[in-house]
């Protein structure tokens, strides 16, 4: 999967940015249209500070409880996205901590988030997580159910459905992810037509395959190990 990383954080970040630019050139896109989200699961707050000094200002966390402990120890000028599975009993805290949630995987969860946003007096952008591969072990809605949730989201106050998110099956070769990324983009394009919602964001691609995701239309890539190395690393 992801090779062992080497070099300084600055060197690794430069390599990732170069790969983003190269993938955008191949796809005829601007690098400005792709948001790099460093994933900080298991990463020491001091290393988040190093990353923030290099101009990174949006970070992704997978667990509410880790975010709760970490965010106060990180620079206050960065924002946080929830990218992992969100449990219903963590919704209120997630609404307080995060600027965006990528992993809405049911209508019930969407309604809970809308209610928590109403209580907090804020509006929150979200992505709908799609089980694009149909794997039983994956979170996410079946593709056939996504339209119903988007339409329902339009009727909920305090929610902005911004796009779709997916994780393809694990594979040794990055190219194996392409059909799933393409499928998500094509689903997004159909849903734009049927719902009238812009769905500008496609959150797809991680350390192993983000180049392929960008070629297939990703607007947000979630990259962790190739930037930070093994979990538990310190600056």
Query: How many angstroms separate the Cα of 95 from the Cα of each of 104, 105, 203?
Result: 12, 16, 19
CA 106, CA 82: separation in Å to the nearest integer? Answer: 15
Question: Degrees (nearest 5) of the Cα angle 200, 26, 12?
Answer: 85
Inter-residue contact 48 to 70 (CB < 8 Å): yes
- Number of separate helices (H) and strands (E) present in the chain: 9, 8
Q: What is the mean pLDDT of residues 75-90?
A: 97
pLDDT band at 5 (very low <50, low <70, confident <90, very high): low
CA 52, CA 58: separation in Å to the nearest integer? Answer: 9
Handedness of CA 224, 229, 230, 233 (dihedral sign): negative
Q: Does pLDDT of 94 surpass 60?
A: yes
pLDDT band at 234 (very low <50, low <70, confident <90, very high): low
Specify the pLDDT at position 2.
44
Q: What is the mean pLDDT of residues 4-29?
A: 93
* Reduced 3-state DSSP string for 67-106: HHHHHHHCCCCCEEEECCCCCHHHHHHHHHHCCEEEEECC
Q: In a 10 Å sphere around its CB, with 0-12 CB exposed, 13-18 middle and 19+ buried, how is residue 48 labelled?
A: buried
pLDDT digits (tens, 9 = 90+) for 105-145: 999 999 999 999 999 999 999 999 999 999 888 899 999 99
| DSSP-assigned beta bridge partners for residue 58 | 79
pLDDT digits (tens, 9 = 90+) for 179-211: 999 999 999 999 999 999 999 999 999 999 999
């Amino acid at each position: 999967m992801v090779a062992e990383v080497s070099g300084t954080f600055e060197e690794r970040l430069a390599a990732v940015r170069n790969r983003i630019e190269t993938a955008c050139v191949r796809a005829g896109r601007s690098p400005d249209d792709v948001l790099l989200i460093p994933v900080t699961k298991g990463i020491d707050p001091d290393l988040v500070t190093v990353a923030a000094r290099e101009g990174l200002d949006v970070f992704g966390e997978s667990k509410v409880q880790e975010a709760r402990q970490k965010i106060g120890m990180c620079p206050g000028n960065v924002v946080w996205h929830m990218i992992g599975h969100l449990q219903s009993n963590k919704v209120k805290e997630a609404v307080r901590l995060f600027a965006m949630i990528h992993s809405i995987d049911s209508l019930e969860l969407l309604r809970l988030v809308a209610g928590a946003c109403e209580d907090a007096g804020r509006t929150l952008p979200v992505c709908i997580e799609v089980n694009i591969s149909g794997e039983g072990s994956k979170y996410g809605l079946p593709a056939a159910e996504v339209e119903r949730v988007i339409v329902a989201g339009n009727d909920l106050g305090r929610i902005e459905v911004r796009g779709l998110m997916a994780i393809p099956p694990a594979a040794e070769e990055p190219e194996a992810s392409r059909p799933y990324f393409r499928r998500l983009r094509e689903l997004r394009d159909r849903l734009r037509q049927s719902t009238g919602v812009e769905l500008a964001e496609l959150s797809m691609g991680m350390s192993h395959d983000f180049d392929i995701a960008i070629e297939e239309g990703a607007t947000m890539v979630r990259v962790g190990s190739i930037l930070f190395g093994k979990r538990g690393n310190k600056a």
